[in-house]
């Protein structure tokens, strides 16, 4: 005995469907379903699944900010030194971003957070510019020369720093995204 009664989506009662979530079995339309490697799942089941995927705590975000900023200050200073050699900065920036991402991952013991990659990118940008500004100031204090102080104010105009910020941040984001 076959029932040919139409089945409607649980979220859109006027939309007829033949799809069902392979986890909970609810009838869903094509707008309410997501294709996964194991079949079609409703968005509610995916949200439950993703919630268990993130294990980072608020302390982990503070660790990401601290480690990312410190490492980026050092890397930003090196980028400022490479500023005139933009060709080398193109290769340096992704390598430095990868090292910073791995330092962050090691510091938070490979826990995953929803916003870990965004916090790490923000700290790379801030730390990179701080390091690029501090690099000439350190030389100025050691050499007692005013020219280096003038260079510190020009960190925003240093091509190597911008290459580091853009390529480094994109590398950090790609390595830490969940």
Task: Reduce the DSSP state of residue 20 to 3 states and report it.
Answer: strand
How is residue 100 written in tokens? 């910073």
Q: Is the pTM of this model over 0.75?
A: no
- Within 33-57, residue ranges assigned H as helices are 43-51
pLDDT of residue 144 exceeding 80, the answer is no
* Top-confidence residue, 1 or 175: 175
CB 127 within 8 A of CB 64: no
Tell me what pLDDT residue 118 has: 93
For 76-118, write each residue's pLDDT tens digit: 888 887 776 778 889 999 999 999 999 999 999 888 888 899 9
pLDDT confidence of residue 95: 95
Paired tokens of 19:
């799809």
Q: Is 143 left (phi over 0), alpha (psi -120 to 50) or beta?
A: alpha
At 151 the pLDDT is 53
Count CA within 13 A, CB hemisphere, residue 139: 16
Is 80 exceeded by the pLDDT of residue 52? no
Which residue, 108, 114, 128, 113, is CA-closest to 169? 128
Cα separation of 121 and 124, whole Å?
Answer: 5
């Amino acid at each position: 005995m076959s029932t040919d009664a139409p089945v409607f989506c649980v979220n859109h009662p006027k939309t007829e469907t033949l799809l069902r979530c392979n986890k909970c079995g609810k009838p869903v339309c094509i707008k309410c379903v997501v294709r996964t490697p194991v079949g079609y799942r409703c968005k509610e089941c995916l949200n439950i699944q993703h919630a268990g995927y993130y294990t980072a705590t608020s302390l982990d975000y503070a660790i990401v900010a601290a480690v990312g900023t410190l490492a980026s200050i050092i890397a930003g200073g090196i980028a400022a030194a490479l500023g005139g050699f933009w060709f080398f900065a193109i290769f340096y920036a992704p390598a430095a971003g990868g090292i910073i991402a791995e330092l962050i991952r090691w510091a938070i013991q490979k826990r995953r957070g929803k916003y870990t990659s965004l916090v790490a990118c923000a700290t790379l940008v801030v730390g990179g510019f701080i390091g690029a500004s501090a690099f000439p100031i350190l030389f100025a204090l050691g050499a007692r020369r005013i020219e280096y102080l003038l260079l510190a104010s020009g960190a925003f105009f240093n091509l190597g720093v911008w290459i580091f910020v853009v390529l480094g941040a994109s590398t950090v984001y790609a390595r830490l995204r969940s």
